[in-house]
Amino acid sequence: MTATIGDDRGYSPEQRTAALVEALPYIKRFRGAVVVVKLGGNAMVDDDLARSFAEDVVMLRSVGIKPVVVHGGGPQIGELLGRLGKESEFRNGLRVTDAETLDVARMVLVGKVGRDIIGQINVHGAYAVGMSGEDGHLIVAEARDPELGYVGEIVAVNPGIVERLLAEDLIPVVSSIGASVEGQALNINADTVAGALGGALCAEKVIYLTNVPGLLTDLDEPSSLVAKATIGDLEAAIDDGSIFGGMVPKVQSCIDAVRAGAVGAHMLDGRIPHVLLLELFTDAGIGTMITAR
């Protein structure tokens, strides 16, 4: 299942047939379901992983699943700011965003990163359509903190434009820029956008592709992976400090997605080729699944 689509890598006909048979009940189960995928980490900067991600998304569409891609682009924004001679400043994991930084973020997210993802998907057909949270009042936000500048906190999601694209069997690719009711663009954490949009769409799954295997109780020990957790489990772990640092916002986004209406949220290792297919279409699954109870 981890081989590139169209490359048998020495698998026997029986092995390939078994993989298809294993996938069949999952294809039937998830047909017509919305799956929101937050793309991040290595899958955004490694060309081979980017291609395998695009193949996965097209495969989901081909079997009747409705994928929605949400992406950020923090490293790419930081790189361009550096080339422009502007240092990045962070507070509590959020980029301080003045007017110039906001212009760079919009340019990178909508004009570069989003276009690259769309191009990879559309190699396989005219499927992907790009947008930002500004389009159609998709993501309505307000300034989070004056000290952070133009960093937004979501106050409403209007998923109509995404639902119309899904009804046409298209694949929305959403950049994590929102806007206030006055029309002021705001930079928003992509994990947060994915969770809010997944909830608004009542997605079957909100999937976060990261650079870790999933939720680990010990960051240095892959065998400490938590395969399944409830909202209550995670909130208790945050409160007692078992979950800390950069893992907290990702876990909180999963909690928020399920609370907002998604059936489940998943943290997967985006460094694994075709990890979406492994999660959705195999008995074993992969990563960490978060549910209401």
In a domain, 5, yes or no: no
In a domain, 90, yes or no: no
Do residues 112 and 163 touch, judged by C-beta distance below 8 A? no
d(CA 234, CA 244): 11
Query: For residue 20, what pLDDT is reported?
Result: 81
d(CA 264, CA 229): 10
Could you tell me the pLDDT band of residue 130, with boundaries at 50, 70 and 90? very high
| CA-based nearest residue to 226, from 257, 258, 266, 275 | 266
Q: Which position has the token pair 């930002």?
A: 132
Domain range spanning residue 129?
18-71+104-135+171-176+191-291
Query: For residue 44, what pLDDT is reported?
Result: 79
d(CA 258, CA 41): 22
Could you tell me the pLDDT band of residue 185, with boundaries at 50, 70 and 90? very high
| CA-based nearest residue to 89, from 187, 194, 229 | 187
pLDDT average, residue stretch 169-190: 96
Query: For residue 221, what pLDDT is reported?
Result: 81
Give the pLDDT confidence of 70-79 residue by residue, as tens digits: 999 988 999 9
- Please calculate the CA angle 21-24-29 and round it to the nearest 5 degrees: 155
pLDDT average, residue stretch 41-51: 83
Q: Determine the 3-state secondary structure of 137 from DSSP.
A: helix
Query: For residue 94, what pLDDT is reported?
Result: 84
Do residues 69 and 37 touch, judged by C-beta distance below 8 A? yes
Query: For residue 76, what pLDDT is reported?
Result: 92
Q: What is this structure's pTM?
A: 0.91
In a domain, 275, yes or no: yes
How many domains in the chain? 1
Q: Which position has the token pair 């772990």?
A: 237
Query: For residue 33, what pLDDT is reported?
Result: 97
Could you tell me the pLDDT band of residue 2, with boundaries at 50, 70 and 90? very low
In a domain, 115, yes or no: yes
Do residues 53 and 207 touch, judged by C-beta distance below 8 A? no
Query: For residue 212, what pLDDT is reported?
Result: 84
In a domain, 182, yes or no: no
Query: For residue 239, what pLDDT is reported?
Result: 92
Flag whether pLDDT at 128 surpasses 70.
Answer: yes
- Residue 100 CB partners (closer than 8 Å, separation 6+): 86
d(CA 250, CA 122): 29
Q: Which CATH number fits the domain that encloses residue 125? A: 3.40.1160.10
Flag whether pLDDT at 216 surpasses 90.
Answer: no
Give the pLDDT confidence of 141-175 residue by residue, as tens digits: 999 999 999 999 999 999 999 999 999 999 999 99
Query: For residue 210, what pLDDT is reported?
Result: 86
pLDDT average, residue stretch 72-99: 91
Quick one: residue 84, left, alpha or beta (phi over 0 = left, psi -120 to 50 = alpha)? alpha
Could you tell me the pLDDT band of residue 9, with boundaries at 50, 70 and 90? low
Residue 142: φ, ψ to 5°: -135, 160
In a domain, 25, yes or no: yes
d(CA 157, CA 188): 13
Give the pLDDT confidence of 244-274 residue by residue, as tens digits: 876 787 898 899 999 999 999 999 999 999 9
In the predicted model, what is the mean pLDDT of the chain?
90
In a domain, 278, yes or no: yes
| CA-based nearest residue to 71, from 179, 189, 178 | 189
In a domain, 160, yes or no: no
Flag whether pLDDT at 42 surpasses 70.
Answer: no
Per mean pLDDT, which range of 123-137, 187-201, 278-292 is the poorest?
Answer: 278-292
Do residues 177 and 134 touch, judged by C-beta distance below 8 A? yes
